[in-house]
Amino acid sequence: MQLSRLNQQTFLSLLKSAASASPSAYSHHLPSLHAVCTKLGFLLCTRTNNAFIQGYCSAGRVTDARRVFDGMPRRDTVSFNSMIHGYAVSGDVGSAQRLFERVLAPTPVTWTSMVAGFCRAGDVESARRVFEEMPERDLVSWNAMISGCVGNRLPVEALCLFRWMMEEGFVPNRGTVVSVLSACTGAGALETGKWVHVFVEKKRLRWDEFLGTALVDMYAKCGAVELALEVFTGLRARNTCTWNAMINGLAMNGYSAKALDMFRQMELNGTVAPDEVTFVGVLLACSHAGFVDAGKEHFYTIPQKYGVELILEHYACMVDLLARSGHLQEAHKLITEMPMKPDVVVWRALLGGCRLHKNVKMAENVISEMEATCSGDHVLLSNLYAAVGRWNGVEDVRRTMRSKGIEKIPGCSSVEMDGSIHEFISGDKSHPSYDDIHAKLIEIGGRMQQHGYVTETAEVFYDIEDEEKEQALGYHSEKLAIAFGLIGGPPEATIRIVKNLRFCTDCHSFAKLVSKIYHREIVVRDRARFHHFRGGACSCNDFW
């Protein structure tokens, strides 16, 4: 009996050593190891069976793991946890839930496996329900729920959970910090991101490449470029991702020359090599500044000079650069010569250039070739028709959208105030401060008229009277957010807004004039890039 125990213990040690030394080889030889173990009679041991369940699940062989599980004479909590976890990972949440319901006394690990599984499957609602039903939560379960929201693009919900976690007395660890920084990045929650930065400093957590990159990325994507540069400069260790975060951050914020200079510094540094993402940032910088020659030079030398294959995103940036600079035919030719099938992002880049240069015929061809199903693409064509007075075309687009069941996506803008995220939908009157916001918009309108402001109604989607157009534009989500920022924050604070759609021409003019009249900096991150408004001018130089 003692020999049997010794042999089983030795066998378990061998299994663990093999799994850690060479996971791929271990996965390949797992059935053979299983057969040997069966022949020696070791499978009566619960720990040995658990080891094989974990091994099969790690190898993606959940059916084999379940066969071991079903054949066990005795199962413990580890058995159930391992099997449930094997099902979150494989995406079979239904089987995981059925097994979970058989557990008499689920541990926090079991509950957390279900939370993580639902999040991986994209069912955040079910994950939240399980999370709230947990009799006892630990830091791991909080991290699973927060990171699950981040992974499913629900940054505001992730930040609400983080505040709840802090109120419950839990202290964030590195995993929490990375998830929360990602949530701040998605929501544009700069103040919360600053708090996390201070927390990390106080706790003396190590600023390695991973954590440092997350912080640089957060500051850059919240429009705080100076803070991003400060963190970047202070990091002792930088990897390619760190450089990429800084280069792309500068490019997105309109600091194109600085982004290209940062790329040159990366080359001179010599410790890391540029990759595909690096050149997305480089070409994005050229596109946002209209650097056609520099963009071409980089684009056509990437494979030969750096050994980096061109990807779809590189083509999208190059098409965008050419199209917005007026080289529409050249941009179209580049699309037709691509070695891979162009996606909607590539076509959308050309469509944006058609709108900018009012080339209706090419825009119509692009909509047809891209087989547009997104409301934004149809609305862009409709706006182009409206801009040139072709109201029959506007009606055709509306009819097409109705026949295909395509609904116009409402504009949504969010702004952080006193640690909370406030969201505004175009035309929505549900915000608690709406009456004050409405009064502020009337005040702004009066002051802007004194400066000669005239509402730009050309791109309104419907053929309605100018007065109605002005009213429709007056309640775009970014205008509501700007008005709220003027009444809700300190008199000199920067108003920072995240918008889900592209800026319309009128709202862009509105933000410029507000920044001049009220002496306030306004930073808006729209679907494509950042706009920094100061003193009546925008960092994009009206080239977006």
463: which 2 tokens? Answer: 């053929």
What's the mean pLDDT in 11-26? Answer: 60
Query: How big is the CA angle at 99 (ends 95 and 104), to the nearest 5 degrees?
Result: 165
* Amino acid, single-letter form, for residue 279: F
186: which 2 tokens? Answer: 């998605």
What's the mean pLDDT in 513-519? Answer: 95
Q: Using alpha carbons, list the distances in angstroms from residue 506 to 21, 458, 475, 481, 512.
A: 61, 9, 11, 15, 10
Q: What are 269-322's pLDDT values in tens digits? A: 989 999 999 999 999 999 999 999 999 999 999 999 999 999 999 999 999 999
Which residue(s) pair with 522 in the sheet? 495, 533
Q: Within a 10 A sphere around the Cβ of 195, how many other Cβ atoms? A: 15
The sign of the CA dihedral 259, 264, 266, 269 is negative
Q: How much is the pTM?
A: 0.83
Predicted pLDDT of residue 65: 87
Query: How big is the CA angle at 512 (ends 509 and 518), to the nearest 5 degrees?
Result: 130
Predicted pLDDT of residue 404: 87
The answer on pLDDT for 537 being more than 70 is: yes
pLDDT band at 23 (very low <50, low <70, confident <90, very high): low
CB of 453 closer than 8 Å to CB of 398: no
What's the mean pLDDT in 6-24? Answer: 60
The answer on pLDDT for 506 being more than 70 is: yes
Q: What are 322-349's pLDDT values in tens digits? A: 999 999 999 999 999 999 999 989 999 9
Distance in angstroms (rounded) separating the CA atoms of residues 186 and 158: 10
181: which 2 tokens? Answer: 């920084």
Q: Within a 10 A sphere around the Cβ of 293, how many other Cβ atoms? A: 8
Higher-pLDDT residue of 541, 319:
319
Which residue(s) pair with 422 in the sheet? 415
Q: What are 161-175's pLDDT values in tens digits? A: 999 999 999 999 999
Predicted pLDDT of residue 109: 87
Distance in angstroms (rounded) separating the CA atoms of residues 494 and 360: 38
Helix (H, G, I), strand (E, B) or coil at 55: helix
pLDDT band at 6 (very low <50, low <70, confident <90, very high): very low
pLDDT band at 125 (very low <50, low <70, confident <90, very high): very high
The answer on pLDDT for 373 being more than 90 is: no
Comparing 5-19, 40-54, 260-274, 344-358, the range with the smallest average pLDDT is: 5-19
Which residue(s) pair with 532 in the sheet? 523
Most confident of the following: 92-96, 436-440, 472-476 = 436-440
Of the chain, the end-to-end C-alpha distance in Å amounts to 77
pLDDT band at 75 (very low <50, low <70, confident <90, very high): confident
* Amino acid, single-letter form, for residue 509: S
What's the mean pLDDT in 513-537? Answer: 94
430: which 2 tokens? Answer: 């549900």
The answer on pLDDT for 122 being more than 60 is: yes
Predicted pLDDT of residue 60: 80
Predicted pLDDT of residue 15: 63
